Amino acid sequence: MRRVLRSSVLALATISAVVLSGCSSGTQVDDIFSAGGWPGMHADSRNSDTSPVTGSRDISFAWSRPLGGPVANYASVAASGQIFITARTEKGCNLFSYQMDSGRKRWCRQLAPGVVASTPIVDGAANVYVGENGAINSFNEYGQLRWRTPVVGTPLSAQFTGDGNLLFITQLGQINVVNTQTGQKVVAPYDLVPPPSVAEGANVDILPDDKGLNGCFFGSPDCPVANMPAIDLESGKFYFTFFAPGAPEAELVAMKYSGGDNPAITQEWSSDTLPGGSASSPDLSADGSVVYANDNWGTLWAIDSATGDPKWSYDIGYAAAGSPSTSADGLIIPAGGLDGHLLALQDKGDHAELVWERKDLLQLGVPAQTAGSTGYAVVREGTDGLAMLTFDTGTGETLDQDTLPGAKGFTVGTSIGPKGEVLTPTLLGELFVLR
């Protein structure tokens, strides 16, 4: 079932606090994207969880760093190899930057606790953009604040737009697009959840900016938008899941950002196709024609990006705890789960075909694919340990397996560095780097 979203575009809000400090090397799109690194949560605009780097088939543990608290998101990596990651700490810093080669901390900053929900996104000049309770911030590569822009809610991980701006959605459902140089809003904020009317305003409590953040990981209705959007840079269409007030489950939503002289955010479609809803980020096919999304009942769906109609679905046998890795030629490797194994599917247009399956492995992370038909995934080792598995994406064959010393539980993402380094943080709060 498809239906148009209720529009609630506010008048352009007054920027109450914008700090201007520092500039990157330009405003062209080619200068924004951090080619060769892992600039955002899922690597690129289409949330592919893939890297153009040819991955090594013989990696080994290099270093690890405890972060002082739980980690909810991936590490991002600039083209220079500089690492950025957030954590939920009791005191002190919760945004960190590390050197890739040595693991040495370059700098850290203490932001509001909601920063743990935001994966930093980095541009070609190693400027980093990250959300916190009630604001989006930008720091330069040395950790100096460039600007801070207030918003409603806590911005989750952002995406660059085709015209070089920054698009993000807060967990409370406010969509913003800001200029990467100044932090100024370039379009009126779009509220997916209609704000109180003037008459209601005096009798309605203002929602705290961190409301529902703890429920985002589980797709709770307290967190209307629990993930980052996938965006088609050419068309400006972007896709995410939205738990509308009073709805029985989250829906898959398509909207469009139009840049140029008259920028705007407009509605496209919404679909309640996903049984049980979804809390993971959708991802796009390389040509932008298909949106892939997990539901909460163990099925992967392929949705027509133009209409919201389902093209096919495939029961992977478990509820995935994250987004799949999707190569440019349509090889899809789902994320792990509490009882998830490792498998690969090929999109055949009107159906998905199982390429290979490894039920002998318990996958406890999110996979990443690289050039050279090489993939990486975290798997159970022994009774309760974790290891990084290197595998052939075409066959599923194990190529290498490296212990993550002392790691427990599961990891929350796999990132690839510019020289083929493999990074993964554990939920318990330790960053591991292999190369």
> What does the pLDDT look like over 42-77, one tens digit per residue?
999 999 999 999 999 999 999 999 999 999 999 999
Strands 95-98 and 105-109: antiparallel
Q: Where are the domains of the chain?
A: 25-194+215-434
**194 has a pLDDT exceeding 90:** no
Q: Is the pTM of this model over 0.85?
A: yes
Asked whether the predicted pLDDT for residue 142 surpasses 90, the reply is yes
Coil, helix or strand for 94?
Answer: coil
Largest Cα–Cα distance in the chain? 65
pLDDT-based confidence at 368, cuts 50/70/90?
very high
Contact between 427 and 412 (Cβ < 8 Å): yes
Q: How many beta carbons lie within 10 A of that of residue 360, not counting itself?
A: 9
Question: Rounded CA gap, 269 and 3, in Å?
Answer: 6
The pLDDT assigned to 335 comes to 97
The pLDDT of 267-277, averaged and rounded, is 91
pLDDT at 31: 52
Which CATH architecture describes the domain 25-194+215-434? 7 Propeller (2.130)
Torsion of CA 6, 11, 17, 22, to 10 degrees: 90
Among candidates 397, 373, 377, which has minimal Cα distance to 387? 377
Burial of 380 (0-12, 13-18, 19+ CB in 10 A): middle
Which of 296, 352, 301 is CA-nearest to residue 319? Answer: 296
Cα–Cα distance for residue pair 241/285, rounded to 1 Å: 17
CA gap 270, 278 in Å, rounded: 13
What does the alpha-carbon distance between residue 279 and residue 270 come to, in Å, rounded to a whole number?
15
**pLDDT(12) > 80:** no
Q: What percentage of the chain carries pLDDT values higher than 70? A: 90
Closest by CA position to 221, among listed 287, 163, 173: 173
Under the banding of pLDDT at 50, 70 and 90, the label for residue 174 is: very high
- Give residue 51's identity as a one-letter amino acid code: S
In this structure, which long-range contacts are made by residues 374-382, counting pairs with CB atoms below 8 Å and at least 24 apart in sequence? Answer: 374/54, 374/55, 374/56, 374/57, 374/399, 375/55, 375/325, 375/333, 376/55, 376/414, 376/416, 376/422, 377/333, 377/336, 377/342, 377/414, 378/336, 378/404, 378/410, 378/411, 378/414, 378/424, 379/342
**Residue 277: its pLDDT value, please?**
83
pLDDT 10s digits, 108-129:
999 999 999 999 999 999 999 9
pLDDT tier for residue 4 given thresholds of 50, 70 and 90: very low
